[in-house]
């Protein structure tokens, strides 16, 4: 489907499914935050074309050059804190009111989803909003940690170093996060894939799970992805345009108090 008209016309064959669905899952990647002013990771000019992941996003890099890695993440946290959630983030927060069972699964660490009001949230790759001790697990809001020590990682009371509470390459996901996300994807009647390349595993495997379990797949991405062929509806538009329009279109085909 091309860039959106207003209002969005849903395909007739999908309206009954979208109108009666009670379980929905949204899966978001860095593309949803691009309209807020944050870089994506794998697009042209994205984060991983500016720096190498092995230099800034591994535990080994942090242990070799803790001050460099901490300063880089402190800058990223500052950028994320300075921008605002966009209409796509706010639209997804509304889905918690529309569907009795809704889960938002995100690969993003920028904290824009909770700032927009999302509460039923699984942050697969952790969050920049917090720093944690790599030794004892103590957590501190990132703003406090950066204010205390902007140029090098603060030292915890246990003697360990605080680091961003994100998942680096080679690390496991937060305990139970992938299991919960997989269960929700397997139960979903609607599965949204928004602003993600579909190339980062195991997270991208959620799309396969939802497809195999019979969900109505809706993809929102300006460019095709490896999963576009599976989608029942593809919206080739920015998320900030597509998600509010999709939300209104779904509401229009749902009976009151569904």
- Catalytic site residues? 125
Query: What CA–CA distances, in Å, run from 190 to 28, 47, 101, 167?
Result: 14, 31, 11, 27
Alpha helices (H) along 5-156: 15-20, 47-50, 53-56, 59-64, 66-82, 87-98, 112-116, 142-148
| Partners of 29 in beta bridges | none
Q: How far is CA 145 from CA 58, 70, 151, 155, 158, in A?
A: 20, 10, 10, 10, 15
**φ, ψ for residue 155, nearest 5 deg:** -95, 130
* Secondary structure class of 216 (helix, strand, coil): strand
Task: Evaluate whether 10 touches 178 at the Cβ level (below 8 Å).
Answer: no
Count of residues in the chain: 258
Residue 155 token pair: 């030292």
The conformation of residue 153, written as its DSSP 8-state character, comes to P
For residue 104, which of 112, 90, 93, 115 has the smallest C-alpha distance?
93
């Amino acid at each position: 489907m091309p860039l959106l008209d207003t209002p969005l016309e849903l395909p007739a064959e999908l309206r009954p499914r979208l109108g009666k669905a009670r379980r929905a899952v949204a899966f978001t990647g860095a593309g949803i935050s691009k309209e807020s002013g944050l870089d994506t990771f794998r697009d042209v000019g994205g984060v991983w074309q500016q720096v190498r992941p092995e230099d800034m996003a591994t535990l080994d890099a942090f242990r070799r050059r803790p001050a460099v890695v901490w300063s880089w993440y402190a800058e990223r946290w500052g950028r994320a804190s300075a921008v605002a959630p966009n209409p796509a983030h706010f639209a997804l927060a509304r889905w918690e009111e529309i569907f009795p069972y809704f889960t938002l699964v995100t690969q993003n660490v920028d904290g824009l989803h909770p700032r927009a009001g999302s509460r039923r949230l699984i942050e697969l790759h952790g969050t920049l909003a917090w720093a944690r001790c790599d030794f004892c697990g103590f957590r501190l809001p990132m703003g406090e940690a950066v204010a205390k020590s902007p140029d090098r990682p603060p030292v915890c009371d246990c003697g360990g170093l605080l680091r961003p509470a994100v998942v680096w390459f080679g690390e496991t996901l937060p305990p139970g996060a992938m299991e919960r996300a997989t269960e929700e994807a397997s139960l979903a009647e609607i599965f949204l894939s928004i602003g993600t390349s579909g190339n980062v595993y195991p997270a991208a495997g959620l799309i396969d799970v939802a497809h195999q379990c019979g969900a109505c797949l809706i993809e929102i991405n300006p460019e095709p992805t490896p999963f576009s062929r599976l989608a029942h509806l593809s919206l080739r538009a920015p998320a900030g345009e597509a998600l509010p329009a999709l939300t209104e279109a779904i509401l229009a085909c749902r009976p009151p108090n569904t």
